[in-house]
Structure 1
Amino acid sequence: MEKTNEINGHAVSECSVPTSKIPAKNDPKTFKEKLAGFFKRNLLVVLTVSGVLVGVGLGMMVRNMNLTRAQMTYFAFPGEMLLRMLKMIILPLVVCSLISGAASLDTRSLGKLGGIAVSYFLVTTLIASAIGVALAFIIKPGVGAGALNTNNLGLETVSANKETTDSFLDLARNLFPANLVAAAFRSYATDYRMIAVGNNTNGTLIYQKVPVGTETEGMNILGLVLFAMVFGVALRKLGTEGEELIRFFNAFNEATMVLVSWIMWYVPVGIMFLVGSKIVEMEDVVLLVTSLGKYIFASILGHVIHGGIILPLIYFGFTRKNPFSFLSGLITPLTTAFATCSSSATLPSMMKCVEENNGVDKRISRFILPIGATVNMDGAAIFQCIAAVFIAQLNNAELNAGQIFTILVTATASSVGAAGIPAGGIITIAIILEAIGLPTNDLSLMLAVDWIVDRTTTVVNVEGDALGAGILHHINEKEMKKQRLQEKKEEEEEELAEVRVEAVANVSAEEETSPLVTHQNQAGEVSPSASEVKEAMESAL
């Protein structure tokens, strides 16, 4: 019976197909096959990008229909559903992925990787802050805009009376939540109360502003991240007793990733309506862009420089690989980031694409990406620094070297606690302004154009997380390779030692036998006969 083989899906006889004719037969289909293969592999990416473009067109069409507020809400409903689905998956994904990630890495490598990750996050955020301050002084977005205020743009005022000290203390308090269940939907925040502490000489009451702890709506993701990491390390320390629970969290994590892959197919539809509804909701965008155009331009330029040059250069410096081929596998999460303005909501798709498209070790991605989504806010640091300098220029305040340094440090430190949600960075700007002694009443200007700037901010935030995961994966692989080479070397040395021992034994055996042979030859002084040789052999045996 002839062997059969498949070519283009048809079973053919192996010996009957001349090899020279196969390429000619395939030539007309090659381009189509390549194109079909490309679309099959990147179908989700193509649909997601199309969703953004269709959303822009749909928004422009619907905008002319003068919808009521209620109708706008209904129009935005499919986009709202996408955000709700992505937020629903964040809690199990962050907790389970961090526990399984921390438990699967041994304590030494966990400490080393954690140290490298924190250093990477701090350095990149500091660079981002420096870029923001430099651009703000070069472009001067606030110079000549002194007449601009919240009244002529019809904006609401944003109150932010929080002390800088309390902001950092709240960050520490949120790291250690008093109630883990409450941390899933509430964060700690300091409020102030005026309390009477006595009378002065005139008999009037003296009041003091006293900080009071309150709970605000919103997941305390920072506390959950720290707990999950420490809990994972504790399970690892338990050894065999903790294996059952580690397996449970691994299974939970895999099931969550399956849910993510299902949600991903709804992303193009959700993004289309998210982008469309934003365009419909825009007020007088021309007035905003002309008034705050330099601020918007400075922020987006900062994001382009940091995301398009600095971060890829850092990745290339560590890995000596093309950063843009790495980023090409992340088009879906980057588009999701652009549409949702939430690094937390982008986390599920980022994890999936980093692991499947870029081959990053699951243990690394599931350990580092949830931390990055919480603490690594490069894009936010850029626009916060630009906003702080913009407001200073708006109020004709000259910033000295000390205040510039304060902006850099405060932006870097406070971006750690910034919520990974839309407009989460506005409150952080208030902390920076308080730190350098500037009024916070111009914050509403930032809020007016935040929906534009926040898109590129989130893209840079998640890009920094992904490249950080790629760098850690490379370092980890390098360490493992080095370890394997070391082990191989040790094994070879052990084998060599064994060979040497055997060689020494053989030499000593020769030394024992050779004198007898020479002695026998010397005694006879003649070559032995055949019978003598035979006798000698028998005796030896």
Structure 2
Amino acid sequence: MTVSESKKLGLTSKILIGMGGGILLGLLLRNLFPENAFINDYLTEGLFEVIGTIFISSLQMLVVPLVFISLVCGTCSLSDPSKLGRLGGKTIAFYLFTTAIALTVAISFAILVQPGNASLATSAMEFNAKEAPSLADVIINIVPTNPIQAMTEGNMLQIILFAVIFGFAISHIGERGKRVAALFNDLNEVIMRVVTLIMQLAPYGVFALMAKLSLTLGMETFGSVIKYFFLVLAVLIIHALIVYPSLLKIFSGLSPIMFLRKIRDVQLFAFSTASSNATLPVTMETAEHRMGVDNKVASFTLPLGATINMDGTAIMQGVATVFIAQVFGIDLTFTDYLMVVVTATLASVGTAGVPGVGLIMLAMVLNQVGLPVEGIALIIGVDRLLDMVRTAVNVTGDTVATVVIAKSEGEFNNETFADADAGKVAESFEDQVKHPNVPNA
């Protein structure tokens, strides 16, 4: 490695610079030119909106083909039905377990800290929530009536089920199945290379997203709900930096420090996009090439996690429920809190991995325990920022579960995990051109 190469900024550094630069520029423009029509029309809703949306769209563009192709590859390599069932059982059990922990911790801290203030309740509060799906509807809608429509609409649970059935069928038709499997494996390599190239856009996309957020976030909202904001933030950090690393160490024996070092890029992507689904391509790239998880495990657990593992959202729902109850002076019983845990845990199965959907599911949780849905209006102002943090928590949980399950299944490369530089993407498009077949170039 030459001196110039050693001085190159890594992808993480570029993303951090883009994030910091975007926030700084947004705050400067906001304070120097308040309520400026030109800034709003041509930068906030113009340049920054275009660049940020293109970046998000470029990631979302990959989600459906990536999930379907990689999951078919993973499933068709699992010719043993018992192994597929065991893998699914472990994955769902782990996700529900961590969600229950997240809710319990969140509610406990909220009861202890008492963030709600009855003086905040006003008649002006209003929140029109979309109707959340019932648990029965969630279960029924897992089975697609039209797989192509499911792909068009991005219905992840339906895509996952169809891909599993399709891959399982491929593994049971002999030589013809092997030819089809080989085609899907080649397609998987192509889509992963596209992911690598798209990742080079990250610093610019993050810059635009952060600049727009800094220009539009209503800072005055923080004054009335500052205690709620920092409480949710604290619980999210505890869950990401204490609960998850502890579970990783207990169930796999791997180093939490090494894991946290390697998950940084994924967390930054998730924080910037506030979407588990949009971050999925980066999460899969990291799990396979940085962590050492075999594709047939990662291609199953990560898409499923992006759909049903919403620990960050569960934490917000737990704290928000207690907060709103305190604001309106409503005492919740132990049974009510238990209902919140159960409802929010099951609701996570139907929560899409897209920005802001947690508020819709919160409305369902509030209805279950008889709390006024209008209370959600109190937290809308800060929810966007918290949404970004809890998405980073969600993808961290997805990756922890994937590593733990891969380790338990013997589908894990310890040497790759121990190598701090394993799987680092090329730092420029030119590197990809010079080393087209070398993932670690």
**TM superposition score normalised by structure 2:** 0.87
Identify if the C-alpha distance between structure 1 residues 479 and 366 changes in structure 2 by more than 3 Å, giving closer, same or farther.
closer
Aligned to 2:265: 332
1:341 matched to 2:266: no
Instruction: State the Cα deviation string for residues 177-236 of structure 1 (Å, max 9, x = none).
Output: 2222222344xxxxxxxxxxxxxxxxxxxxxxxxxxxxxxxx311111121122212222
Higher RCO by CA contacts (8 Å cutoff, separation 6 or greater): 2
Q: What is the distance in 2 between the residues matched to 1:454 and 1:266?
A: 22
SS at match of 2:374: coil
SS at match of 2:120: coil
Aligned to 2:136: 169
Give the structure with the larger strand fraction: 1
Stretch moving more, 47-56 or 437-446: 437-446
1:109 matched to 2:83: yes
Once the two structures are superposed, the pairs formed by residues 212-251 of structure 1 within 5 Å of their partners are 219-251=154-186
Aligned to 2:69: 96
Aligned to 2:128: 159
Preserved contact between residue 90 and residue 348 of structure 1 (Cα < 8 Å): yes
Stretch moving more, 221-230 or 472-481: 472-481
Aligned to 2:106: 132
Preserved contact between residue 148 and residue 291 of structure 1 (Cα < 8 Å): no
- Give the CA deviation at 1:174: 2.2
Q: What is the distance in 1 between the residues matched to 2:289 and 2:306?
A: 19
- Give the CA deviation at 1:92: 0.3
Instruction: State the Cα deviation string for residues 371-409 of structure 1 (Å, max 9, x = none).
Output: 111111111111111111111111111101111110000
Q: What is the distance in 1 between the residues matched to 2:130 and 2:407?
A: 45
Q: What is the distance in 1 between the residues matched to 2:266 and 2:171?
A: 31
Preserved contact between residue 92 and residue 253 of structure 1 (Cα < 8 Å): no
Report the residue type matching 2:275 in the other structure: S
Preserved contact between residue 239 and residue 393 of structure 2 (Cα < 8 Å): yes
Aligned to 2:55: 82
Determine which of 123, 140, 143 is the counterpart of 2:97.
123
Determine which of 381, 384, 400 is the counterpart of 1:451.
384
Q: What is the distance in 1 between the residues matched to 2:99 and 2:123?
A: 30
Identify if the C-alpha distance between structure 1 residues 479 and 355 changes in structure 2 by more than 3 Å, giving closer, same or farther.
closer
SS at match of 1:455: helix
Aligned to 2:393: 460
Stretch moving more, 354-363 or 448-457: 354-363
Instruction: State the Cα deviation string for residues 351-382 of structure 1 (Å, max 9, x = none).
Output: 11222222221222122111111111111111
Report the residue type matching 1:354 in the other structure: A
Instruction: State the Cα deviation string for residues 427-478 of structure 1 (Å, max 9, x = none).
Output: 1001101111222112222322111111110011000011111112211228
1:270 matched to 2:205: yes
Once the two structures are superposed, the pairs formed by residues 37-56 of structure 1 within 5 Å of their partners are 37=6, 43-56=10-23
Report the residue type matching 1:226 in the other structure: L
Determine which of 163, 182, 194 is the counterpart of 2:149.
182
Q: What is the distance in 1 between the residues matched to 2:379 and 2:123?
A: 10
Identify if the C-alpha distance between structure 1 residues 304 and 161 changes in structure 2 by more than 3 Å, giving closer, same or farther.
closer
Two-structure CA RMSD over aligned residues (Å): 2.2
Determine which of 45, 51, 56 is the counterpart of 1:73.
45
Report the residue type matching 1:222 in the other structure: L
Report the residue type matching 2:59 in the other structure: L
Aligned to 1:60: 27
Once the two structures are superposed, the pairs formed by residues 458-537 of structure 1 within 5 Å of their partners are 458-477=391-410
Determine which of 214, 233, 242 is the counterpart of 1:279.
214
Q: What is the distance in 1 between the residues matched to 2:196 and 2:165?
A: 28
Q: What is the distance in 2 between the residues matched to 1:406 and 1:345?
A: 31
Report the residue type matching 1:89 in the other structure: L
SS at match of 1:175: coil
Instruction: State the Cα deviation string for residues 147-196 of structure 1 (Å, max 9, x = none).
Output: 34373xxx7x322374x7x521221232012222222344xxxxxxxxxx
Q: What is the distance in 1 between the residues matched to 2:231 and 2:33?
A: 33
**Gap runs ≥5 in structure 2:** 415-441
Q: What is the distance in 2 between the residues matched to 1:374 and 1:385?
A: 19
Instruction: State the Cα deviation string for residues 494-518 of structure 1 (Å, max 9, x = none).
Output: xxxxxxxxxxxxxxxxxxxxxxxxx
Instruction: State the Cα deviation string for residues 251-294 of structure 1 (Å, max 9, x = none).
Output: 222211111111000001100110111001122x1x31120111
Determine which of 185, 194, 200 is the counterpart of 1:259.
194
- Give the CA deviation at 1:46: 1.4
- Give the CA deviation at 1:122: 0.9
Preserved contact between residue 150 and residue 445 of structure 1 (Cα < 8 Å): no
State which structure, 1 or 2, has the greater radius of gyration over its C-alpha atoms. 1
Stretch moving more, 309-318 or 465-474: 465-474
Preserved contact between residue 55 and residue 273 of structure 1 (Cα < 8 Å): yes
Preserved contact between residue 315 and residue 467 of structure 1 (Cα < 8 Å): yes
Q: What is the distance in 1 between the residues matched to 2:412 and 2:16?
A: 38
Preserved contact between residue 156 and residue 303 of structure 2 (Cα < 8 Å): no
Q: What is the distance in 1 between the residues matched to 2:298 and 2:413?
A: 17
Aligned to 2:243: 310
Preserved contact between residue 336 and residue 346 of structure 1 (Cα < 8 Å): yes
Identify if the C-alpha distance between structure 1 residues 119 and 158 changes in structure 2 by more than 3 Å, giving closer, same or farther.
same
Preserved contact between residue 351 and residue 365 of structure 1 (Cα < 8 Å): yes
Preserved contact between residue 120 and residue 224 of structure 2 (Cα < 8 Å): no
Q: What is the distance in 2 between the residues matched to 1:394 and 1:178?
A: 44
1:358 matched to 2:330: no
Preserved contact between residue 271 and residue 392 of structure 2 (Cα < 8 Å): yes
Aligned to 1:391: 324
Identify if the C-alpha distance between structure 1 residues 56 and 231 changes in structure 2 by more than 3 Å, giving closer, same or farther.
same
The alignment of Structure 1 onto Structure 2 pairs a total of residues equal to: 407
Identity of aligned residues (%): 33
